Amino acid sequence: MSSPRTQTYAQRAAKNPNAAARALLEVIERKKSNLCVSVDVTKRDEFLNIIDTVGPYVCLIKTHVDIIEDFDLSVIEYLKELSAKHDFLIFEDRKFADIGNTVALQYSGGVHKIASWSHITNAHPVPGPSIITGLASVGKPLGRGLLLLAEMSTKGSLATGAYTEEAVRMARAHRDFVFGFIAQRRMDGVGATDTDDVADEDFLILTPGVGLDSRGDAMGQQYRTPKEVVTESGCDVIIVGRGIYGKGGSVDVQAVQAQAERYRKEGWAAYLERIGQAPS
Amino acid sequence: MSSPRTQTYAQRAAKNPNAAARALLEVIERKKSNLCVSVDVTKRDEFLNIIDTVGPYVCLIKTHVDIIEDFDLSVIEYLKELSAKHDFLIFEDRKFADIGNTVALQYSGGVHKIASWSHITNAHPVPGPSIITGLASVGKPLGRGLLLLAEMSTKGSLATGAYTEEAVRMARAHRDFVFGFIAQRRMDGVGATDTDDVADEDFLILTPGVGLDSRGDAMGQQYRTPKEVVTESGCDVIIVGRGIYGKGGSVDVQAVQAQAERYRKEGWAAYLERIGQAPS
């Protein structure tokens, strides 16, 4: 079996056991975009404007709905309409981190009802496997998928070494629901023992901290280019935020679309280089 | 310096560098209660009814406001009124787990505006120290306090060994905001190096999984008695949920008050035994 690094997104879609992962790989192929835009703004109008603006260029929109001050369920209705209009999936970056019973309630209920609209969400592995079974009890019947945080790029992160390996083992034991990681590198085979059959393993890697114009910021964030992330490290989806829509306030539609297209094109070229195809 | 184990809550209040910790220790002493009730229900009326019922018996109410389906800001107004009426503090068990910029927005904003009403909240140390500085930028000016999750009692938890030690070191470096842990044992001096002055260290320990009637449940939760937790392990606050208000639905006021008083009395007796005083 060839590595996921040298397969097309479409080839990998055909084999993935998780419905949300298949849908994501298919939309990536269909739109020739491995770009996810992270929309971290606090007003609903700006939130929806940015998404409507970048929608044509992305495979995925990453949200933090719990920072939107004027949130109500109409935000979700609009978001779902935009998802259909522009053909992208939604990833609520909730970073669940509680025991199974609690995360099941947080995922399904409250005012945000995340499971009802977010195709993908994520969780920290720190509570152990019960966080996966708790979320899966809600998300699997809805065809959702889960990412684990196997690493974090922040300074002094505790998600390293044995922690990362254990996170990958937890994912490996729940491949029908956990389809990948938020990480900076491929995780296939990490932490595997001799008895694990990992020849066919294909975890999707979604990677934040991608930038074309800056190597870092004052808060210690490090940026890597799409080529470094996709071609060299073999990651699958680049996550970009303020690099595309700027400091916020009003949305300059043409400027934001130009940036989104620039990142889409760079991300796709990096993927074509990785699989050994010339850009068309 | 004597260990926190043998000092009264009032003695410890006088020396704590964090305002929320001092307020908590003072209310514990005033009400002779080290009982925190965890109110994990999904309807606002039941949520507020339980809190009004157990309020006289507790030092602290632990909430998950993100599971309340019919939440709006009036829930917070009522909760604040009940906090004043019954003299208890509020602890939103949010388990923040993101980078500094994001947790600052999640803590201050969104529909829940946690920092504006929750005296205490908690966070996972996994992102590294930036999660503390992000939350402190919001919470310190408001006199709030933070607990870290240094351990979890769930099966397969990754918060063990070096992870736990690093969590305590992060807390030690931010003692004006981080005043303790969610844990099953004392953490004073854990992970300290020769150059750390920990003689005077006093982290408050709030402990879930306390029960008087059962040793465990079908979901793998283990229960310990107040005596085991407070007298033997030296923890400071016992957290009890369904053991006090049952399976939910309607609230049987007399039965719930009897259970709350029973846990308050057991928790306080365990504390008096620990400090070597006879119950009065």
From the list B15, B32, B43, B95, the catalytic residue is: B95
For range B184-212, the mean pLDDT: 93
Q: Which residue of A has its CA nearest to B165?
A: A158
Look-up of token digits 């793998």: B220
Stretch (H or E) spanning B129: none
Q: Given an 8 Å threshold on Cβ–Cβ distance, is B71 in contact with A111?
A: yes
Q: Which of B40, B110, B124 minimises the CB distance to A124?
A: B124
Q: Given an 8 Å threshold on Cβ–Cβ distance, is A106 in contact with B64?
A: yes
For range A5-33, the mean pLDDT: 97
ipTM for the assembly: 0.96
Look-up of token digits 């016992």: B238
Lowest-confidence pick of B115-129, B199-213, B239-253: B239-253
Q: Given an 8 Å threshold on Cβ–Cβ distance, is B111 in contact with A158?
A: no
Query: How far is A191 from chain B, CA to nearest CA, in Å?
Result: 14
Q: What pLDDT, on the 0 to 100 scale, is given for residue B13? A: 97
β-pairing, A60-63 with B35-39?
Answer: unpaired
Residue B207 reports pLDDT greater than 80: yes
Based on the residue annotation, tell me whether A247 is a catalytic residue of this protein. Answer: no
Question: Do residues B179 and B204 make contact, with C-beta atoms less than 8 angstroms apart?
Answer: yes
Query: How far is B147 from chain A, CA to nearest CA, in Å?
Result: 15
Q: Given an 8 Å threshold on Cβ–Cβ distance, is B156 in contact with A42?
A: no
Question: Do residues A152 and B127 make contact, with C-beta atoms less than 8 angstroms apart?
Answer: yes
Q: Which residues contact B95 (CB under 8 A, 6 or more apart)?
A: A97, A98, B122, B123, B124, B149
Residue B216 reports pLDDT greater than 70: no
For range B156-178, the mean pLDDT: 97
What is d(CA A237, CA B93) in angstroms, rounded to the nearest whole number?
Answer: 32
When the pLDDT of each residue in chain B is averaged and rounded to a whole number, the result is 94
The residue of B46, B95, B155 whose CB has the most chain A CBs within 10 angstroms, and thus the best one to mutate to test that interface, is B95
Q: What pLDDT, on the 0 to 100 scale, is given for residue A218? A: 57
β-pairing, B178-182 with B145-149?
Answer: parallel
% of residues, chain A, pLDDT over 90: 88
Query: How far is B272 from chain A, CA to nearest CA, in Å?
Result: 32
Residue A216 reports pLDDT greater than 80: no
For range A160-170, the mean pLDDT: 97
Residue A126 reports pLDDT greater than 90: yes
CA A218 centroid distance within chain = 25
Q: What pLDDT, on the 0 to 100 scale, is given for residue B25? A: 98
Q: Which of A98, A126, A219 minimises the CB distance to B159?
A: A126
Stretch (H or E) spanning B188: none
Angle between helices A130-139 and A100-108 (to 10 degrees): 30
Q: Given an 8 Å threshold on Cβ–Cβ distance, is B126 in contact with A109?
A: no
Q: Given an 8 Å threshold on Cβ–Cβ distance, is B163 in contact with A158?
A: yes
Give the residue among A207, A136, A122, A128 at the shortest CA–CA distance from A175.
A136
B74-88 per-position pLDDT tens digit = 999 999 999 999 999
- Residues of chain A in contact with residue B69, where contact means CB-CB under 8 angstroms, are 109-111
> A with B: how many residue pairs have Cβ under 8 Å apart?
136
Residue A279 reports pLDDT greater than 80: no
Q: What pLDDT, on the 0 to 100 scale, is given for residue A259? A: 97
Q: Given an 8 Å threshold on Cβ–Cβ distance, is B109 in contact with A71?
A: no
A59-115 per-position pLDDT tens digit = 999 999 999 999 999 999 999 999 999 999 999 999 999 999 999 999 999 999 999
SS3 state of residue B204: strand
Q: What pLDDT, on the 0 to 100 scale, is given for residue A280? A: 59
What is d(CA B2, CA B19) in angstroms, rounded to the nearest whole number?
Answer: 22
Question: Do residues A53 and A257 make contact, with C-beta atoms less than 8 angstroms apart?
Answer: yes
Q: What pLDDT, on the 0 to 100 scale, is given for residue A153? A: 86
Q: Given an 8 Å threshold on Cβ–Cβ distance, is A219 in contact with B100?
A: yes
Q: DSSP class of residue B69?
A: T
CATH numbers and ranges of domains, chain A: 9-275 (3.20.20.70)
Residue B268 reports pLDDT greater than 70: yes
DSSP state letters, chain A = ---GGGS-HHHHHHH-S-HHHHHHHHHHHHHT--EEEEE--SSHHHHHHHHHHHGGG-SEEEE-GGG-TT--HHHHHHHHHHHHHHT-EEEEEEEE-S-HHHHHHHHH-TTT-GGGT-SEEEE-STT-THHHHHHHHHHGGGT-EEEEE----STT-S--THHHHHHHHHHHTTTTTEEEEESSS--TTTT--TT---TT---EEEE--B-SS-SB-TTS-B-B-HIIIIIIT--SEEEESHHHHTT-SS--HHHHHHHHHHHHHHHHHHHHHHHT----
Confidence of residue B153 (pLDDT cuts 50, 70, 90): confident
Q: What pLDDT, on the 0 to 100 scale, is given for residue A8? A: 97
Confidence of residue B239 (pLDDT cuts 50, 70, 90): very high
Residue A130 reports pLDDT greater than 90: yes
Q: Given an 8 Å threshold on Cβ–Cβ distance, is B111 in contact with A71?
A: yes
Nearest-10 Cα torsion for B166, B171, B174, B176 = -170
Query: How far is A74 from chain B, CA to nearest CA, in Å?
Result: 14
Q: What pLDDT, on the 0 to 100 scale, is given for residue B247? A: 82
Residue B222 reports pLDDT greater than 80: no
Question: Do residues A67 and A42 make contact, with C-beta atoms less than 8 angstroms apart?
Answer: yes
B42-54 per-position pLDDT tens digit = 999 999 999 999 9
Query: How far is A162 from chain B, CA to nearest CA, in Å?
Result: 9
Residue A28 reports pLDDT greater than 80: yes
Residue B218 reports pLDDT greater than 60: no
Q: Which of B98, B110, B125 minimises the CB distance to A69?
A: B110
Which residues on chain B place their C-beta less than 8 Å from a C-beta of chain A?
40, 42, 64-69, 71, 93, 95, 97-102, 105-106, 109-112, 124-131, 149, 152, 154-159, 163, 166-167, 170, 219-220
Q: CA A198, A202, A207 angle in degrees (round to 5)?
A: 130
Residue B2 reports pLDDT greater than 80: no
- Residues of chain B in contact with residue A65, where contact means CB-CB under 8 angstroms, are 110
Question: Do residues B69 and A111 make contact, with C-beta atoms less than 8 angstroms apart?
Answer: yes
Q: How far is CA B216 from CA A138, A260, B20, B77, B213, in A?
A: 24, 53, 32, 36, 9
What is d(CA A204, CA B141) in angstroms, rounded to the nearest whole number?
Answer: 41
Higher pLDDT, B233 or A278: B233
Q: Given an 8 Å threshold on Cβ–Cβ distance, is A155 in contact with B130?
A: yes
The residue of B101, B158, B239, B247 whose CB has the most chain A CBs within 10 angstroms, and thus the best one to mutate to test that interface, is B158
